[in-house]
Amino acid sequence: MGDFGPLDHLWYFEYYTGRNVGLFMKIDKMLHSEESKIQRIDIFKNPDLGTVFALDGITMMTDKDEFTYHEMLVHVPMFLHPNPKKVLIIGGGDGGSSREVLKHDSVEKLILCEIDERVTEAAKKYLPLSEVKDDPRLEIVNENGAEFIRKFKNEFDVIIVDSTDPTAGEGGHLFTEEFYKAAHDALKEDGVFSAETEDPFYDFSWLKLAYKRIAKAFPVAKVYMGFVPVYPSGMWTYTFASKKIDPLKDFDPEKVENFDKPLKYYNAEIHKAAFALPNFVKEALEKLKK
């Protein structure tokens, strides 16, 4: 039968939308597993990917490649704002986006709004939140982000939506027209916004729906892309939005070049290149505009 170790029978399977394609990973060690009131939470070790975090059987992050996702989601809007002081992250209970936001010295206050308290408790022990949980600028709020954001008007410099997939847990609340309008209203006049908007292969309908709704809520809305190897297709999209800041015309590469904190993926060239879209994505989004 071959040379099998004691844990070779433990495997994790993720099924992509349609359930005809997916991802599998060996589980070396189970770190945390529970059914919260909202969703199933699993955190385990894989020999190649390190710590893996999944919600309802959908991979949220791995040690190996989470920086590709979190840096693109966070630093595109953070470097476009002239002086980001107050930031709101909705979702992002693992803490990766919080870690990236807090690399910016201008930040005075970061609110992390994660609906599931059990996620943030586990993340403080096993995930990137453990790196920043004691930063005095960070406030963790365990509420429904779609409701929480309505409490604010003209309040934030940057809002980042680090949501689960719209089919997982409570993620669907963060893909509605009402939510994006509330995000617009919660931003200051020079505020900027970014959201993860899924992949263009298995979940293209969600990308198109999110973009259409964000573009309806904001005067400026542009999709950009990056690579996240563990996510479906490895090609991931984000949508930048603002009331008046253009992500290319108003981008200052010197701010990135003079940044003194470590960045493993994002740089000034990547920022500009990320807004160059493949034809099949560009054409689909242009049809939506019409």
Catalytic residues: 162
List alpha helices for 149-274, DSSP H. Answer: 177-186, 204-217, 253-257, 268-274
Q: Give whole-number Cα distances, 129 to 57, 94, 101, 139, 290, in Å.
A: 21, 6, 12, 12, 42
Q: Are strands 11-15 and 156-162 parallel, antiparallel or unpaired?
A: unpaired
Tell me the C-alpha distance between 55 and 98, whole Å.
19
Q: What are phi and psi of 24, to 5 degrees?
A: -130, 150
Q: What are phi and psi of 287, to 5 degrees?
A: -65, -40
| Strand, helix or coil for residue 179 | helix
DSSP-derived secondary structure letter, 226: E
| Strand, helix or coil for residue 211 | helix
DSSP-derived secondary structure letter, 20: S
* Token code pair at residue 235: 């090609």
Pick the closest to residue 256 from 80, 107, 69 (CA basis). 80
Half-sphere exposure of 243 (CA within 13 A, CB side): 16
Tell me the C-alpha distance between 187 and 218, whole Å.
11
| Strand, helix or coil for residue 146 | helix
Buried b (16+ CB within 10 A) or exposed e, 68-97: bbbbbbbbbbbbbbeebbbbbbbbbbbbbb
